[in-house]
Structure 1
Amino acid sequence: MICSMTAFARADRHLQGYSLAWEIKSVNHRYLEVSPRLPDALRGLENGVREKCRKALARGKVEVTLRYQQDDSEASLELNETLVKQLSDVSRRVGDIVQHPGQVNPMEILRYPGVLSSQELDVELLQREALSLLDEALQALIDTRAREGEQLGKLIEDRLDGIGTQVEIVKAAIPRIKEAQRERLRHRIQEVVESPDPDRLEQELVLLAQKMDVEEELDRLITHVAEVRRILKKGGHIGRRLDFLMQELNREANTTASKSVDSETTAAAVELKVLIEQMREQIQNIE
């Protein structure tokens, strides 16, 4: 399986009184860099978040954001009825003492400290739920990465086919180019020397043939293409290996271009470099 490093995933969970949501965004990076963003109440999760990301992912710059929201409509308020009765009795007694009887104002009693209290947050339960939900978000991210990676693999395969086509074009042109170079060199020498030395002429032709010989470069291109296909088929964490092979392919393409003495092979060498650069850009996103 080929995985892209560029992906986004989200996982939500609604529980009694609150809701949790993880958002994970990853982009290409040389190594794995995890940046957790957590609410203050759940800062203690940072090490656990980093550990889970390290186990699930190999490369990429990953932003992991947890959103926590308490549901006010389901917030549980506890009334201290004993304290309310005491305050009510005291209010009445004070009214009798100052000879100013009246009804007790409930809102005034509610403002008294300790009359109302909210249900304490179970941090341990919240952390367990958050880590469990993180597993779901990470799996969704991996699935997205795999789908993106599959598409990248197809794009790279298309470019590999294109490289194979250009190699065949150059190979087919080599005999014609060699013969044309031989004739061109023979005519030039004859223009200068009426009776050229056949041995000397043959030596010059051999030297010219050696300078323009790209058979080794083409063979290495074919070998590297086969290796790229093998690695793509194997899958896994292959981004760095493929990046190295792109450097090797580019080196052979440059050498082929430098040895070119014909417009057709020059055009093929340029196309080779374009295809390799397109692959290299795609491979930058592979984990």
Structure 2
Amino acid sequence: MPHSMTGFASIAAEDEGCNWVWDLRSVNARGLDIKIRLPDWLGGLEEPLRKALKASVARGNVSVSLKITRRDEAGQSAINPDGLERALAQLTAIAAEAEARGLRVAPVQPSDIAGMRGVLEQRAMTDEDTAPLLTRLAKDIPPLISQFQASRAQEGAALTHLLSQQIDNVAQLVTAAEGVLPARQDAQVAGLQAALARVLDNSDGADPDRVQQELAILAVKTDVREEIDRLKAHIDAARSHLTSEQPVGRKLDFLMQEFNREANTLCSKAQFKELTTIGLDLKHVIDQMREQVQNVE
């Protein structure tokens, strides 16, 4: 069953004097784009994480983040002198501009300054300290991806159910189109006979056989049996893709283009009210399918 490109997973744990939270999520994308955000002082984890994701995910804009806080005193936040200097300079400039415009600025509390970006930073651990932590964090990767894939599979099941219903609607409309073909043919014959009569009545020495031949060519050009047969083939292909265990999003996306092409041709050839109505309904359902297919991996 196809997976959705939308998914989410989160793992919170603690060990080695630290608390941490993994966040893994994805949204739609044409290909696979992985963005990983890890603490700057933590090295050696990005490569195995990226490798594991590439082995599990075929498409999607995937983002992973890891936030770690240390419980021990050595890991507490420390003031970043450069960050503090920038923050104070910004506050001074804001206060000066406000005063120049006649605005009163409330006193700034130390906690307000501490909360500004870059003022506080986590003290980096030594290489000795990070080795056990890296080993522990690496153990989170398989269950994190497993939870993530379960989320995508659940969303994929919902997508598959919806797409199956829409494909059934397309099949019903194609059957309805076949059903009106006899009436359309009768109307075409009557129209061609009337056109032939008008031509013969208003032509001097026109060759009836030649006129009938030209009208027959027009009838062939408006025949829609080929479009209906192709739509049936597309329906079978779409149903087959929805039972596949492999990523089929690109195939379904291409198939939607083919569905739309045949529906457009059907409408342009219709020349019969009932068939035109069915063709327009087909285009509406196909547009709905195309929207959903954009979410399939």
Q: TM-score, normalised by structure 1?
A: 0.79
Q: Where has structure 1 moved over 6 Å in runs of 4 or more?
A: 73-76, 118-121
Structure 1 gaps of 5+ residues are: 77-117
Q: What is the aligned residue count?
A: 246
Matches of 1:154 and 1:17 in 2, distance apart?
46
1:131 aligns with 2:141: no
Tell me: CA distance 1:237–1:220, structure 2 relative to 1, closer, same or farther (3 Å).
Answer: same
Q: Distance in 2 between matches of 1:170 and 1:216?
A: 12
| Aligned-pair Cα RMSD in Å | 2.5
**d(CA) in 2 for partners of 1:240 and 1:69?**
41
Once the two structures are TM-superposed, the CA of residue 41 in structure 1 deviates from its matched residue by 2.4
Partners of 1:175 and 1:199 lie apart in 2 by: 25
The 1:173–1:121 alpha-carbon spacing in structure 2 relative to 1, beyond 3 Å, is same
CA deviation digits over 1:204-261, x for unaligned, max 9?
Answer: 4422321220101100110111011111112321111111211211111111111110
TM-aligned CA distance change 1:187 to 1:269, over 3 Å: same
Structure showing greater radius of gyration is 1
- CA shift in 2, pair 1:119/1:224, >3 Å: closer
Q: Which residue of 1 aligns with 2:29?
A: 29
SS in 2 for 1:286: coil
Distance 2:293 2:255 in 1: 10
Change (3 A) 1:205 1:75: closer
Deviations 1:22-42 (A, max 9, x none): 101101112111110001221
How far does residue 16 in structure 1 lie from its aligned partner after superposition? Answer: 5.0
SS at the partner of 1:67? strand
Q: Is the 8 A contact 2:264 2:279 kept in 1?
A: yes
Question: What amino acid maps onto 2:174 in structure 1?
Answer: V
Structure 2 residue 172 is the aligned partner of structure 1 residue 165: yes
* Structure 2 CA distance for partners of 1:124 and 1:35, relative to 1, 3 Å: same
Query: Per the alignment, in what secondary structure is the counterpart of residue 44 of structure 1?
Result: coil
The letter of the residue matching 2:264 is: N
Q: TM-score, normalising length from structure 2?
A: 0.76
Aligned to 1:69: 69
Secondary structure of the residue aligned to 2:270 is coil
Deviation at 1:126, TM superposition (A): 0.8
TM superposition shift of 1:52? 1.4
Question: Does the 8 Å contact 2:18/2:68 carry over to 1?
Answer: yes
Distance between the aligned counterparts of 2:74 and 2:19, measured in 1?
A: 11
| 1:56 paired to 2:63 | no
Q: How far off its partner does 1:197 sit?
A: 6.2
Identity %: 38
Aligned partners of 2:16 and 2:230: how far apart in 1? Answer: 64
1:262 is matched with 272
Whether contact under 8 Å (1:246, 1:280) holds in the other structure is yes
Give the aligned partner of residue 217 of structure 2.
Answer: 207
Identify if the C-alpha distance between structure 1 residues 119 and 178 changes in structure 2 by more than 3 Å, giving closer, same or farther.
Answer: closer
- What corresponds to 1:13 in structure 2? 13
For residues 69 and 286 of structure 1, the distance between their equivalents in structure 2, rounded to whole angstroms, comes to 36
SS in 2 for 1:245: helix
**141-150 or 118-127: bigger deviation:** 118-127
Q: Is the 8 A contact 1:163 1:272 kept in 2?
A: yes
Match of 1:219 among 229, 236, 242: 229
Aligned to 1:178: 185
Name stretches of at least 5 consecutive residues in structure 2 with no aligned partner.
77-124
**Is the CA contact 2:2–2:153 (under 8 Å) kept in the aligned structure 1?**
yes
- Aligned partner of 2:194 in structure 1 is 187
Deviating more after overlay: 60-69 vs 49-58: 49-58
Decide whether aligned partners of structure 1 residues 185 and 35 sit closer, same or farther in structure 2, where only a CA change above 3 A counts.
Answer: same
Q: State the Cα distance separating 1:194 from its structure 2 match.
A: 4.0
Partners of 2:150 and 2:254 in 1: CA distance: 26
Letter in 2 for 1:184: G
Please name the residue that 2:152 is paired with.
145
What SS does structure 2 have at the residue aligned with 1:248?
helix
- The answer as to 2:239 corresponding to 1:232 is no
Alignment of 1:72-87 (within 5 A): 72=72
Please say if residues 186 and 201 of structure 1, whose CA atoms lie closer than 8 Å, have aligned partners that are also in contact: no
Displacement of 1:10: 0.4
Per-residue Cα deviation, 1:161-212 (whole angstroms, up to 9, x for no partner): 1111111111111111111122123224434534986534542442232122
